[in-house]
């Protein structure tokens, strides 16, 4: 029993070390891609949203004929998806009358506005960029 | 003063008694008589036949001009509202995304309200109303559940999960009930579901049978899917309501588009049973026969509005109007198509989408969406609402994000000012157009026709119309608070007085571009 315990202890140490290493690597990766968008993006997003999206999704992003883009219902629906998934769906299917008609910067700004309205509080110096989107999900 | 108090107390007592009263019907016999019933509107399309024909004559061509709004019940909910109010024993039942309401059908007093708390993500907010049977209401949900409520109180009786909404499934149809079974299908083709039709036991929601709308393996029709892998997300929604032949026990079901909507190369073949009307044995769920309207669709042209059945010159006919802007009529005795006539203009229907874009008429919000034909045995005409509205369809990346839209491209719509709505009358025997009315805005809502010689319709500018069923002449027009109408008009008698109840409000993505006005039920009658 003692030998076996020792054996498992060593195995545990080895596995634990490996886990810590992977975890440390993960933290490192996340540190390089901390979620960030600028206030200018939020402002542009709000302006663009008001012109292009508000009729179907509502002034409070609460959903009208289109689905909610803020609140529990939205987060329940999108929580498992990456920001890139959201960008893909939004930029290929919206605005409904003319999908894909907005610029990349406008779509990114709307995504920043949606994040900010949902309380992600990630206003910073670094703009939300398309290459960052796969690193994050709609989970707080 | 004493009299006023007495009247007030009496009124409150009546409301209280209605809210608490036990609702024991309708019985199966009452449902079987739904087409002829004068005191009720028991199903989304009035009756099992789906023809939306009311035998009432009190309001008719001679007096409809005097129609007045009796009352309005506003839900204060901006979500989609595509109901035709269900009415039984003087109570109207309406639904939106999570809410179900019971309203006095003569004065708009609310009797009760039920607010569903979903357990899964809600895919789409639209719900088209309840089925009613034996004191119970049955409805779907945005998270693909089926609920039973006590019709007297709104209390939840049972709740079963139909499918996993995190994969794009929801249940938006108005179900129908027959022989202790509730018929409800899956919606969500645009989200990449693999559709099934279902029957459930009214007593506890237990499953009676399933039918695979997207066949695989050894099932008949599986060979119409050139890529077996594509069937996993093959689509095939049921999202309006259902039709049943009580005499034969056959269930008629419209099946929506294949998915991904525009990238047909991903799913080569005819893609049965998408864009079809299938006919099942209602007791077993076994396929009897089918009619496909589009083979291998690449423009999101669902067959979605419920088909209708009627007898003409001794033959059983089946008619269905599609999003592609056609009215089809079949002789269901011989299984032969009798005619296919245009309900909208058409452009480039045979040209596939390209990455640069293909201009088409109609676009995917055109044609007939959730409202099918009405049929009058008096005039022997079919009345169809349709939308003439063009756009550009583009091929794009096929990428599945589970539970999200799965188009494989996109659809650009013309400016909404170019869209037209029509109410058109056709000779049911030949398909020949008899008359056409253009309301000036789109007309996605349901058409109702009465023995009083009236065709009742509405538009997205908030107008309600009564037309002469023989000529299309406008006999009555009113605007209901500029609330875009996507619902339908039910008509019924209470204590010998005929009423008309219309569902108006934000009418959904099928009427994109309209102002948002909260949903409301408006009731009309003669003074």
Overall average pLDDT of the A26-52 stretch: 79
What's the full length of chain B, in residues?
527
**Cis geometry, peptide bond prior to residue B362 (ω within 30 degrees of 0):** yes
Q: Model-level pTM?
A: 0.91
Q: Give the pLDDT confidence of A94-128 residue by residue, as tens digits.
A: 998 899 999 999 999 999 999 999 999 999 999 99
C-alpha distance from residue B235 to each of A15, A27, B96, B169, B354 (Å): 45, 40, 24, 10, 21
The pLDDT confidence band at residue B4, using thresholds 50, 70 and 90, is: low
Asked if the Cβ–Cβ distance from B413 to A73 is below 8 Å, we say: no
Three-state SS letters, A78-100: HCCCEHHHHHHHHHHHCCCCCCC
The pLDDT confidence band at residue B514, using thresholds 50, 70 and 90, is: low
Chain A residue numbers with beta carbons less than 8 Å from the beta carbon of B399 are: 88
Strands B287-292 and B308-312: unpaired
Q: Are B298 and B265 in contact (CB under 8 A)?
A: no
pLDDT at residue B17 above 80?
no
| pLDDT of the residue at A58 | 86
The token duo for B355 is 């990455």
Overall average pLDDT of the B162-177 stretch: 98
Min distance B461 CA to chain A CA atoms (Å): 15
Q: How far apart are CA A35 and CA A78, in angstroms?
A: 17
Q: Are B238 and B251 in contact (CB under 8 A)?
A: no
CA angle B117, B119, B121 (to 5 degrees): 105
Who has greater pLDDT, B505 or A65? B505
Q: Are B150 and B130 in contact (CB under 8 A)?
A: no
Q: Out of B403, B506, B513, whose CB is closest to A64?
A: B506
**3-class DSSP state of B1:** coil
Cβ neighbours for A68, distance < 8 A, ≥ 6 positions apart = A57, A58, A61, A62, A74
Chain B residue numbers with beta carbons less than 8 Å from the beta carbon of A76 are: 120-122
* Residue-averaged pLDDT of chain B: 94
Overall average pLDDT of the B182-190 stretch: 98
Q: How far apart are CA B438 and CA B338, in angstroms?
A: 27
End-to-end alpha carbon distance in chain A: 45
Which residues 251-280 on chain B approach chain A with CB closer than 8 angstroms?
Answer: none
- What one-character-per-residue DSSP string does B180-213 give? TEEEEE-B-GGGT-B-EEEEEETTT--EEEEEES
| pLDDT of the residue at B247 | 97
Asked if the Cβ–Cβ distance from B79 to A65 is below 8 Å, we say: yes
The token duo for B185 is 């299908």
Q: How far apart are CA B436 and CA B432, in angstroms?
A: 11
Overall average pLDDT of the B170-195 stretch: 98
Q: Give the pLDDT confidence of B329-378 residue by residue, as tens digits.
A: 999 999 999 999 999 999 999 999 999 999 999 999 999 999 999 999 99
The pLDDT confidence band at residue A63, using thresholds 50, 70 and 90, is: confident
CATH topology of domain A39-135: Cytochrome Bc1 Complex; Chain D, domain 2 (1.10.760)
| pLDDT of the residue at B263 | 98
Asked if the Cβ–Cβ distance from A65 to B122 is below 8 Å, we say: no
Asked if the Cβ–Cβ distance from B396 to A92 is below 8 Å, we say: yes
* Partners of B104 in beta bridges: B91
Chain B residue numbers with beta carbons less than 8 Å from the beta carbon of A60 are: none
Residues of A with CB under 8 A from a CB of B: 55-56, 58, 63-67, 73, 76-77, 80-81, 85, 88-89, 92-93, 96-101
Asked if the Cβ–Cβ distance from A97 to B416 is below 8 Å, we say: yes
Q: Say yes or no: B413 contacts chain A, CB-CB below 8 A.
A: yes
Asked if the Cβ–Cβ distance from B508 to A65 is below 8 Å, we say: yes
Q: How far apart are CA B416 and CA B418, in angstroms?
A: 5
Q: What are phi and psi of B231, to 5 degrees?
A: -70, -25
Q: Are B125 and B142 in contact (CB under 8 A)?
A: yes
pLDDT at residue B179 above 90?
yes
* Torsion sign over Cα A70, A56, A53, B258: positive
Q: Which of A60, A61, A65 to mutate to test the interface with B (most CBs of B within 10 A)?
A: A65
Q: Give the pLDDT confidence of B257-312 residue by residue, as tens digits.
A: 999 999 999 999 999 999 999 999 999 999 999 999 999 999 999 999 999 999 99
| pLDDT of the residue at A133 | 96
Which domains, and CATH codes, for chain B? 28-525 (2.140.10.10)
Q: Say yes or no: B399 contacts chain A, CB-CB below 8 A.
A: yes
| pLDDT of the residue at B90 | 98
The token duo for A134 is 């796969």
| pLDDT of the residue at A65 | 76
Domain assignments of chain A as residue spans, ordered by start: 1-32, 39-135
**3-class DSSP state of A67:** coil
The pLDDT confidence band at residue A140, using thresholds 50, 70 and 90, is: confident
C-alpha distance from residue B303 to each of B33, B39, B151, B240, B524 (Å): 27, 31, 32, 10, 32
Q: Out of B124, B410, B512, whose CB is closest to A92?
A: B410
Strands of the B497-504 sheet, one edge to the other: B68-74, B520-525, B497-504, B489-494
The pLDDT confidence band at residue A16, using thresholds 50, 70 and 90, is: very low
Q: Say yes or no: B410 contacts chain A, CB-CB below 8 A.
A: yes
pLDDT at residue A4 above 90?
no
Min distance B413 CA to chain A CA atoms (Å): 5
Asked if the Cβ–Cβ distance from A97 to B412 is below 8 Å, we say: yes
What is the rounded radius of gyration, in angstroms, for the C-alpha atoms of chain B? 22
Min distance B355 CA to chain A CA atoms (Å): 12
ipTM of the complex: 0.82
């Amino acid at each position: 029993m003692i030998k076996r315990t020792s054996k498992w202890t060593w195995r545990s140490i080895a596995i634990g070390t490996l886990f810590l290493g992977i975890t440390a690597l993960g933290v490192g990766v996340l540190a390089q891609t901390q979620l960030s968008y600028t206030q200018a993006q939020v402002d542009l997003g709000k302006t663009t949203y008001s012109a292009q999206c508000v009729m179907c999704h509502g002034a409070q992003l609460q959903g009208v004929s289109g689905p909610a883009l803020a609140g529990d219902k939205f987060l329940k629906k999108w929580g498992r998806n990456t920001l890139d998934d959201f960008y893909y769906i939004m930029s290929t299917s919206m605005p409904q009358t003319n999908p894909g008609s907005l610029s990349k910067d406008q779509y990114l700004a709307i995504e920043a506005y949606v994040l900010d309205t949902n309380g992600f509080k990630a206003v910073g110096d670094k703009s939300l960029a398309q290459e960052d989107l796969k690193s994050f999900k709609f989970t707080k | 003063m004493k009299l006023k108090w007495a009247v007030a107390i009496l009124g409150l007592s009546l409301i209280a008694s209605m809210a608490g009263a036990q609702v024991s019907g309708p019985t199966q016999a009452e449902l079987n008589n739904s087409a002829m019933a004068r005191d009720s509107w028991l199903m989304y399309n009035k009756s099992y036949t789906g023809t939306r024909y009311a035998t009432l004559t009190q309001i008719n061509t001679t007096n409809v001009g005097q129609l007045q709004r009796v009352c309005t019940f506003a839900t204060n909910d901006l979500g989609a509202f595509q109901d035709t109010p269900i009415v039984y024993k003087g109570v109207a039942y309406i639904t939106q995304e999570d809410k179900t309401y019971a309203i006095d059908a003569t004065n708009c007093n609310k009797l009760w309200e039920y607010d569903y708390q979903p357990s899964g993500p809600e895919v789409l907010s639209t719900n088209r109303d309840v089925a009613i049977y034996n004191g119970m209401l049955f409805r779907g949900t945005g998270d693909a559940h089926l609920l039973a409520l006590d019709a007297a109180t709104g209390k939840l009786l049972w709740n079963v999960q139909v499918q996993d909404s995190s994969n794009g499934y929801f249940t938006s149809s108005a179900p129908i009930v027959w022989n202790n079974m509730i018929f409800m299908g899956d919606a969500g083709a645009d989200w990449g579901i693999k559709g099934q039709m279902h029957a459930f036991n009214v007593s506890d929601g237990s499953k009676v049978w399933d039918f695979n709308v997207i066949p695989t393996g050894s099932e008949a029709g599986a060979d119409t899917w050139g890529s077996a892998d594509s069937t996993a997300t093959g689509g095939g929604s049921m999202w309006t309501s259902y039709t049943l032949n009580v005499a034969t026990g056959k269930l008629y079901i419209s099946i929506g588009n294949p998915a991904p909507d525009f990238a047909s190369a991903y799913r080569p073949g005819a893609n049965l049973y998408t864009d079809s009307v299938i006919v099942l044995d209602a007791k077993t769920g076994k396929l009897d026969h089918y009619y496909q309207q589009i083979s291998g669709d690449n423009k999101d042209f669902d067959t979605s509005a419920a088909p209708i059945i009627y007898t003409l010159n001794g033959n059983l006919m089946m008619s269905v109007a599609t999003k592609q802007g056609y009215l089809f009529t079949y002789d269901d005795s011989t299984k032969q198509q009798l005619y296919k006539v245009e309900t909208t203009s058409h452009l480039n229907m045979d040209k596939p989408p390209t990455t640069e874009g293909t201009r088409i008429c109609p676009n995917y919000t055109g044609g007939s969406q959730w409202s099918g034909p009405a049929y009058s045995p008096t005039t022997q005409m079919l009345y169809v609402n349709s939308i003439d509205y063009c756009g550009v369809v583009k091929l794009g990346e096929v990428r599945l994000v589970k539970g999200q839209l799965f188009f494989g491209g996109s659809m650009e719509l013309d400016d909404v000012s170019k869209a037209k709505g029509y109410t058109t009358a056709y000779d049911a025997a030949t398909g020949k157009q008899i008359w056409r009315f253009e309301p000036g805005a789109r007309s996605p809502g349901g058409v109702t026709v009465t023995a009083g010689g009236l065709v009742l319709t509405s538009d997205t500018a908030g107008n309600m119309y009564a037309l002469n069923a023989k000529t299309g002449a406008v006999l009555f027009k009113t605007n209901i608070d500029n609330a875009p109408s996507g619902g339908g008009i039910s008509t019924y008698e209470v204590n010998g007085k005929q009423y008309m109840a219309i569902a108006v409000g934000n009418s959904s993505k099928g009427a994109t571009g309209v102002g948002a006005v909260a949903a409301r039920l408006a009731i009309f009658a003669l003074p």
